[in-house]
Amino acid sequence: MTHAAISDGATDALNDWLTTIKALNNAADNTIEAYRTDLLGYLAFITNHFGDATGLAPLKQVKVTDMRAWMAHERGRGVSARSLARALSAVKSFYRWLSERDGFDPTVVLSARSPRFQKKLPRPLALDAARAMIDTVELQTVKPWAGTRDVAVITLLYGCGLRISEALSLTGADAPLPDVLRITGKGNKTRIVPVIEPARAAVDRYIRTCPHQITPDSPLFRAVRGGPLRPRAIQKAMEATRMQLGLPATATPHALRHSFATHLLGAGGDLRAIQELLGHASLSTTQAYTAVDAARLMEVYDKTHPRA
């Protein structure tokens, strides 16, 4: 999309806001770029809509009809309801900050209704598929030690519910793995995660076979040439494994975290405890797994009690 000539004032405000949220929320670069793209689209529309690219005045004069016109424009050019809801959330966040800075009433924008959309459920692996992934992933590399490394990483993702970035941020100082790990996740939030025995054993096996020296200051998981292991290496190993096992494209590293939560819940785990283990800020995020569990229950029911 080609953006209209946005005023210097609006551009400066956008850049100041992005700098602020990056500093306050420790937002990832990809998140910042997504916010930038969403806001540039909105600012370009408002600039064209008001026919005035000077200053911030148009932003402060937005009415309900203008917000509806923007959302209709976005839908008209093929933006999905989910993507529009994300863009509106970014616009509201920007307006909260701008209204506090410049002292105007942002109610019109903040009260705009988000489009409804069907939330995607997490896509976990079945229990036997998760086990098969762990058993098979080390066969995807010609270097045996790298295979033990991949098993260790994947066992951590599934056995401890870690994000791949969290597993790869571990250092030599974390080894041998203790009974519990202190993990710093999204938004710099720290949580305590129990480490299951198979995960500790998998990491110990990897350390014994790794040809690179692992020091307290070095990354725990190393690439073939000795540098820090990148997420793409694990993604590629899982891609090869899922093709070998005939698993769907949804069998990704993050799906192992979903599997951890879903299988815990299915075994009678407490939702609040799972929220703490995953590091979710809101219980509503964790509650998505109850829907997954219910969906799987109905799937089993339909197979065992087919309708006539």
Residues 179 and 105 placed together within one structural domain of the fold = no
Residues 94 and 191 placed together within one structural domain of the fold = no
The reply to whether 74 falls in a domain is yes
Instruction: Report the CATH number that the domain containing residue 136 is assigned in CATH.
Output: 1.10.443.10
Asked if 167 and 221 touch (Cβ cutoff 8 Å), the reply is: yes
Q: Which residue has the higher pLDDT, 248 or 13?
A: 13
Q: Which of 36, 82, 96, 254 is catalytic?
A: 254
What pLDDT, on the 0 to 100 scale, is given for residue 297? Answer: 46
Residues 6+ apart with CB under 8 A from 219: 168, 169, 170, 171, 172, 227, 228, 229
Residues 19 and 93 placed together within one structural domain of the fold = yes
Q: Which of 75, 96, 186, 212 is catalytic?
A: 186
The reply to whether 232 falls in a domain is yes
Domain of 18 in residue numbering reads as: 8-110
What pLDDT, on the 0 to 100 scale, is given for residue 303? Answer: 52
149 annotated active-site: no
Q: Which of 42, 158, 206, 289 is catalytic?
A: 289
Domain end position, chosen among 82, 110, 138 = 110
Domain end position, chosen among 55, 78, 110 = 110
Q: How many residues does the chain have?
A: 308
Q: Is residue 116 over pLDDT 70?
A: yes
258 annotated active-site: no
Sign of the alpha-carbon torsion through 243, 244, 246, 250: negative
Residues 96 and 170 placed together within one structural domain of the fold = no
Nearest to 181 by CA among 164, 262, 173: 173
Per the listing, tokens 């710099």 go with 188
Query: Which tokens in the block code for residue 238?
Result: 């899982």
Mapped onto helix, strand or coil, the DSSP state of residue 181 is strand
CB atoms within 10 A of CB 46: 23
Q: Which of 222, 257, 258, 263 is catalytic?
A: 257
Residues 135 and 233 placed together within one structural domain of the fold = yes
Query: What is the Cα gyration radius of the chain?
Result: 24
257 annotated active-site: yes
Name which of 85-99, 114-128, 230-244, 288-302 the model is least confident about: 288-302
Residues 25 and 102 placed together within one structural domain of the fold = yes
Q: Is residue 193 over pLDDT 90?
A: no
Residues 90 and 179 placed together within one structural domain of the fold = no
Average pLDDT over residues 121-147: 84
Residues 106 and 177 placed together within one structural domain of the fold = no
Residues 173 and 138 placed together within one structural domain of the fold = yes
Q: Which of 149, 163, 242, 258 is catalytic?
A: 163
| DSSP letter assigned to residue 228 | B
The residues that bridge with 222 in the sheet, in sequence order, are 228
Burial class (CB in 10 A: 0-12, 13-18, 19+), 180: exposed
The reply to whether 156 falls in a domain is yes
The reply to whether 289 falls in a domain is no
Per-residue model confidence as pLDDT tens digits over 148-164: 999 999 999 888 888 89
What pLDDT, on the 0 to 100 scale, is given for residue 274? Answer: 60
- What's this model's pTM, rounded to 2 decimal places? 0.56
Average pLDDT over residues 157-178: 90
Query: Which tokens in the block code for residue 214?
Result: 């692992």
Residues 157 and 208 placed together within one structural domain of the fold = yes
Residues 132 and 229 placed together within one structural domain of the fold = yes
Name which of 84-93, 121-130, 200-209, 286-295 the model is least confident about: 286-295
Q: Phi, psi (5° rounding) for residue 46? A: -60, -40
Residues 6+ apart with CB under 8 A from 188: 26
The reply to whether 46 falls in a domain is yes
Average pLDDT over residues 182-201: 82
186 annotated active-site: yes
- How many structural domains are present in the chain? 2
208 annotated active-site: no
The reply to whether 63 falls in a domain is yes
Instruction: Report the CATH number that the domain containing residue 12 is assigned in CATH.
Output: 1.10.150.130
Q: How far apart are CA 79 and CA 77, in angstroms?
A: 6
Average pLDDT over residues 264-290: 56
Average pLDDT over residues 67-73: 92
Domain end position, chosen among 60, 76, 110 = 110
Nearest to 256 by CA among 231, 281, 228: 231
The reply to whether 54 falls in a domain is yes
Q: How far apart are CA 201 and CA 267, in angstroms?
A: 23
Identity of the residue numbered 40: L
The reply to whether 191 falls in a domain is yes
Sign of the alpha-carbon torsion through 265, 270, 272, 276: negative
